[in-house]
């Protein structure tokens, strides 16, 4: 008995759909969850006043400081980053200490989000990033 061509067309369409979803999923994952390290110093005049943190629907979910900075890769390439750190007594607090003006940070950021950050010493900042930070 001969197989019908419509069956093979359906199989090919299903295979193409699975392949397209796999490629899209891989790109989404890499854009969202695979990051590179960037370095920044919190400016000495940075506004450290805690402000309300709002959810996507506008409800207040706590108070904290929003950091919106330009960080630099190992070679000095710039990247705009932003993240929020809740006040310690705020409902959304995770026990993080807010980075203070003058402190250096290593920020792991993907194309879409900041994955993590940590306070580091100036000796841990790569030379290319440090030149960009100090403006030389």
Which tens digits make up the pLDDT trace of 21-41?
999 999 999 888 888 999 999
pTM of the model: 0.80
The pLDDT assigned to 71 comes to 97
What is the residue range of 23's domain? 1-34
Instruction: Using the predicted structure, report yes or no on whether residue 3 has a pLDDT greater than 80.
Output: no
Q: Which pLDDT tens digit goes with each residue over 79-99?
A: 999 999 988 877 767 778 899
Check which CATH number belongs to the domain holding 60 and give it.
2.40.50.480
Residue (of 48, 49, 50, 42) closest to 117 by Cα position: 42
Structure confidence at residue 88 (pLDDT): 80
Let me know whether 89 and 29 are in one domain. no
* 67-103 per-residue burial string, b: 16 or more CB within 10 A, e: under 16: bebebbbeeeeeeebebbbbbeebeeeeeeebbeeee
Q: Are residues 99 and 48 in the same domain?
A: yes
Same domain, 43 and 28: no
Q: Are residues 16 and 52 in the same domain?
A: no
Q: Which of 2-6, 37-41, 60-64 ranks highest by mean pLDDT?
A: 37-41
**Bridge partners (DSSP) listed for residue 37:** 108
Output the pLDDT for position 92: 67
* Residues forming a β-bridge with 33: none
Within this chain, do residues 49 and 102 fall inside the same structural domain, yes or no?
A: yes
pLDDT interval class at 61 (50, 70, 90): confident
At residue 125, the pLDDT reads: 97
In the block, tokens 């695979």 appear at 34
54 shares a domain with 100: yes
Same domain, 57 and 2: no
């Amino acid at each position: 008995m001969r197989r019908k061509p419509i069956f093979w067309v359906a199989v090919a369409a299903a295979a193409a759909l699975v392949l397209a979803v796999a490629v899209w999923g891989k790109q989404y994952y890499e854009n969202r969850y695979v990051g590179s390290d960037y370095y920044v110093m919190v400016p000495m005049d940075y506004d450290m006043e805690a402000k309300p943190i709002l959810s996507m629907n506008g409800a207040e979910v706590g108070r904290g400081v929003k950091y919106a900075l330009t960080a630099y890769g190992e070679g000095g390439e710039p990247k705009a980053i932003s993240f929020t750190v809740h006040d310690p007594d705020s409902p959304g607090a995770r026990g993080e200490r807010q980075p203070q003006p003058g402190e250096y940070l290593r920020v792991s950021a993907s194309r879409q989000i900041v994955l993590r950050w940590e306070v580091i010493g100036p000796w841990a900042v790569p030379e290319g990033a440090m030149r960009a930070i100090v403006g030389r």
